[in-house]
């Protein structure tokens, strides 16, 4: 037999979370750390199913999440990454992969933003495109797009590297002042978390001690020290699990990086190597060209 069910689905509450529920959930996670979601409703008395608790935490309450308008830079990143990853058969979790390149944004946020804003924008662009369209021009523009994607990614990733040098607590202040409007309740709740962030829950600190600081960002441009087989390690290893502060703090909570790690490394290798494309990378470019052309709309 398997494990017992996560919750009694009959007495489960649905709909928007109240601030009180948020506080209960955050307090519980402060004490026990994220994970073992099955026990959360039981132990907190929340009338929510474990899945709902997890989603509320990962998409809204988790510290380090930026809310509010997307910047032009973020927008471009998403568009280009969507063009590159969106329809590739390699990527079974494209939003998570894209989110790993857009710091402080959740995959749900990016997905929403894409569906609401960017699809429309691109449709408009497509209409303009049709006026000038012939195959050669279309492909040339996509080539330009790919080139711009490379630049945008390089810029963004080097920005990340800079911000990562800050202590984790000040990171919040910076992100809060820089941009964007945090949902007031989330902001209040994130304040509750500040002390906790200095001392992560013991259950996590034991297993994730190396990943509890933003120093994880530094691995962005380093070779994988655990890797001893030469070929697989030649490429620049981007530790996607550490790309954002929230994922570094709550490694349990990250999107499933393992399954995307190999293809991402391939992509990153291509992105970071200025110059001649290798055979496999050409395939990737060609695939992106075809797929993005066919799949945008």
Partner DNA sequence: AAATTGCTCAACCGCCAAGTT
Partner DNA sequence: AAACTTGGCGGTTGAGCAATT
DSSP letter at 253? G
Cβ–Cβ under 8 Å, residues 115 and 95: no
> Rounded CA gap, 219 and 239, in Å?
6
Nearest-angstrom CA–CA distance, 212 and 189: 20
Residue from the set 259, 263, 266, 296 that interacts with DNA by CB under 7 A: 259
Is 25 within 8 Å of 57 (Cβ atoms)?
yes
Could you say whether residue 135 binds DNA (CB under 7 A)?
no
Q: Which residue has the tokens 């996607």?
A: 240
Please choose, out of 86-94, 172-180, 192-200, 233-241, the segment that lies near DNA by the rule CB under 7 A. 86-94
If the CB atoms of residues 166 and 261 are measured against DNA, the closer one turns out to be 261
Separation of alpha carbons 210 and 215, rounded Å: 9
Judged by beta carbon, residue 34 or residue 214, the one nearer DNA is 34
**Residue whose C-alpha is closest to residue 249's, from 94, 95, 44, 35:** 35
Candidate residues 58, 164, 204, 235; the one interacting with DNA per rule CB under 7 A: 58
Q: Which stretch binds DNA (CB under 7 A): 127-135, 141-149, 232-240, 253-261?
A: 253-261
Which residues in the 233-252 window bind DNA by CB under 7 A?
252
Rule CB under 7 A: is residue 127 a binding residue for DNA? no
Fill in the per-residue mask, 14 to 33: x = in contact with DNA (CB under 7 A), - = not in contact. xxxx----------------
The correct pick among 27, 30, 44, 93 for binding DNA (CB under 7 A) is 93
Q: Which residue lies nearer to DNA by CB, 115 or 234? A: 115
**Residue 90 engages DNA in binding (rule: CB under 7 A):** no
Q: Which residues, numbered 157-196, are part of the site for DNA (CB under 7 A)?
A: 183
CA distance 169 to 197: 7
Q: Print the binding letters for residues 106-125 with DNA: x by CB under 7 A, - otherwise.
A: -xxx-xxx-xxx--------
Q: Which one of residues 19, 167, 256, 280 is an interface residue with DNA (CB under 7 A)?
A: 256
Would residue 181 be called left, alpha or beta, if left means φ above 0 and alpha means ψ between -120 and 50 degrees? beta
Distance of closest approach, residue 161 Cβ to DNA, in angstroms: 23
By CB under 7 A, the count of residues binding DNA is 48
Alpha carbons 250 and 58: distance in angstroms, whole number: 10
Location of structure tokens 């954002």: 244
12 token code pair: 């489960």
Q: What is the DSSP letter of 4?
A: P
Q: How far is the CB of 222 from DNA (least distance, A)?
A: 23
Query: 226 is written with which tokens?
Result: 């655990």
Q: Does 50 bind DNA (CB under 7 A)?
A: yes
Contact 161, 217 (CB under 8 A): yes
Phi-psi region at 2: left, alpha or beta (left = phi > 0; alpha = psi -120 to 50): beta
Binding span for DNA by CB under 7 A among 88-96, 170-178, 233-241, 283-291: 88-96
84 makes contact with DNA (CB under 7 A):
no
Closest-CA residue to 81 (of 138, 156, 6): 156
Contacts with DNA by CB under 7 A lie at 1-6, 13-17, 35-38, 48, 50-52, 54-56, 58-60, 67, 92-97, 107-109, 111-113, 115-117, 183, 252-256, 259
């Amino acid at each position: 037999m398997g494990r017992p069910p996560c919750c009694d689905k009959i007495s489960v509450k649905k709909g928007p979370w109240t601030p009180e529920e948020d506080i209960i959930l955050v307090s519980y996670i402060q004490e026990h750390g994220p994970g073992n979601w099955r026990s959360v409703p039981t132990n907190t008395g929340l009338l929510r199913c474990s899945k709902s608790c997890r989603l509320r935490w990962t998409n809204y309450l988790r510290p380090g999440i930026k809310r509010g308008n997307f910047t032009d830079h973020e927008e471009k990143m998403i568009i280009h990454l969507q063009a590159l990853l969106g329809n590739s058969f390699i990527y079974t979790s494209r939003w998570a992969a894209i989110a790993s390149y857009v710091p402080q944004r959740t995959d749900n946020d990016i997905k929403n933003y894409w569906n609401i804003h960017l699809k429309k924008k691109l449709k408009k662009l497509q209409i303009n495109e049709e006026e000038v369209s012939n195959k050669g021009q279309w492909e040339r523009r996509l080539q330009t797009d790919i080139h711009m994607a490379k630049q945008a990614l390089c810029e963004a990733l080097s920005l990340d590297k800079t911000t990562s040098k800050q202590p984790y607590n000040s990171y919040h202040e910076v992100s809060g002042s820089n941009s964007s409007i945090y949902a007031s309740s989330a902001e209040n709740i994130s304040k509750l978390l500040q002390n906790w962030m200095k001392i992560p829950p013991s259950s996590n600190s034991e297993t994730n001690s190396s990943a509890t600081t933003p120093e994880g960002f530094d691995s962005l441009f380093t070779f994988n020290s655990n890797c001893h087989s030469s070929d697989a390690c030649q490429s620049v290893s981007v530790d996607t699990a550490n790309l954002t502060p929230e994922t570094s703090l709550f490694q349990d909570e990250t999107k499933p990086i393992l399954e995307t790690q190999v293809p991402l490394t391939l992509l990153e290798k291509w992105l970071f190597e200025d110059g001649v494309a290798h055979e496999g990378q050409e395939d990737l470019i060609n695939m992106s060209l075809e797929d993005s052309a066919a799949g945008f709309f």
